[in-house]
Chains A and B, each alone.
Chain A
Amino acid sequence: MNFRNHLFFIGMLLLFYASADLYAKENTMIYPAQNIQADEKKVPPLDLAKPQNLETATFALG
């Protein structure tokens, strides 16, 4: 393997790692919910009073 091939190989490797890192960042939640200790006593009053029989609507807004 000559010097040019080495450079090409290293370049492709760096590109692969950069893409994988970007993909991982995009698919990670912005805030790490799994590290939060939930306390149900803190549920907002609005959610405690939420009606049960809700209707559903679905829209696509391109």
Chain B
Amino acid sequence: MDGVFETVVGYSGGTSSNPTYHRIGDHMETLQISFDPGIVSYDALLRIFWMEHDHTRQPWSRQYMNAVFYHSDEQKEKIIKSMDSLPGKVRTELIPYSRFYAAEDYHQKFYLQRHPEITKEYLEAFPSFNGFVASAAVARVNGILGGYGSRDWFEEIVDLLGLSRKAEDFLRSRLVQRKQSFLSPAGNL
């Protein structure tokens, strides 16, 4: 999505220190994103969040709960307002944000890491793996490989991704095989 610059997967909402995938304790698997509210609004992100899961579902376990963490009173108000417009009983939890622990490297940019040649191109650009994870270009390419984005949107941003021609062509071929994404280039539904 335009306006989203960083995505990191990890663990939040629990009390134990330094959780890992195998010792997650009372944390949940979470996604943390950094976005520019001048380009994409928090309300737009919330609309996608509600579309991407069943808010009436009873969670299987705390690890796999649906929840939204608010970082400010403004976010809390927007979440409550969006919750009020949903049909049925909302079982998705509203939780004050306290701390986020990044997940292990092999969980980050999951779809991209399954393509070693493209991954290598980006790892050559960033001095640390944290830089790779925090990269806006890497987040977009991971999204494309995960099944999002349209061909038109890709052509608008391709020069910003810093990839080789071979990698660009590979991503193009992936987008050709796919029907139009539900996300428009501006991130509005």
Contact = CB atoms under 8 A, between A and B. Distances in A.
Q: Do A and B bind each other?
A: yes
Interface of A: 26-31, 33, 36-40, 42-47, 49-51, 53-62
Interface of B: 5-6, 12-13, 28-38, 42, 45, 49, 52-53, 57, 59-60, 63-69, 71, 75, 93, 97, 100, 104-106, 113-114, 116, 119-129, 132, 135-137, 140, 157, 159-163
Provide the main secondary structure of the chain B interface: mixed
- Point out which of A30, A50, A53, A59 has the most chain B C-beta atoms below 10 A from its C-beta: A59
Nearest to B136: A46
B100 A38 contact: no
Contacts of A26: 106
B31 A33 contact: no
Contacts of A40: 125-127
5 contacts: A27-B106, A51-B36, A53-B36, A56-B71, A62-B66
B28 to A, nearest CB: 4
Given A39-B125, A55-B36, A30 B114 contact: yes
Contact of B69 (A37, A44, A45, A58): A58
Contacts of A57: 32-33, 35, 42, 45, 71, 75
Given A33-B105, A44-B160, A44-B162, A38 B52 contact: no
B30 A62 contact: no
Contact of B34 (A30, A42, A43, A55): A55
